[in-house]
Amino acid sequence: MKTKLANTQKVTLLVAGALLILVSGLILASPADFYAANEIELGANVSLLNELKAPAGLLLAVGLFMIGAIFMRSMADTATSLAALVYLSYAGSRFVSMGLDGVPAPGLVQAAALEALVGLACLAILIIRGIPARMTA
């Protein structure tokens, strides 16, 4: 069981990290094109581009940490906790926004669903491994 769980955790970290690296890389390389895919027009506002690229840099670093944790077993639980936090906070924020502001472009609804799925998968791994209990003990 431990081997299967460890392998599942590695695959989940690979998916979570790769998604963050992909999305953040696209935002850093061409934010206007990335956001245009979801009907968001950025224009030439340099300050807005700067504000969008800053969190993309953070997501890139977090994604790289998740991928690195696949090879450093001692960091896997920390990376899985971070993945759960990042993905569930994004999904939760999107769902709250949908409730308050209305339903956005279909791509953003799909992003929310994917973020929730990845975040819940990470949370499930942590619960099975007993991580929340160990952190509070």
In a structure prediction context, what are the per-residue pLDDT tens digits for the chain, which is 137 residues long?
578 888 999 999 999 999 999 999 999 999 999 999 999 999 888 999 999 999 999 999 999 999 999 999 899 999 999 999 999 999 999 999 999 999 999 999 999 999 999 999 999 999 998 876 555 55
**Domain parsing of the chain, residue ranges:** 2-131
Three-state DSSP at 60 gives helix
Instruction: Quote the pLDDT of residue 16.
Output: 98
Contact 80, 126 (CB under 8 A): yes
CA–CA dist 104, 33 (Å, integer): 17
39: Cβ–Cβ under 8 A, 6 or more apart, which residues?
Answer: 105
Write down the pLDDT at residue 132. 62
pLDDT of residue 62: 98
- Residue of 95, 96, 93 whose CA lies nearest to 85: 93
- The alpha-carbon radius of gyration of the chain (Å, integer) is 16
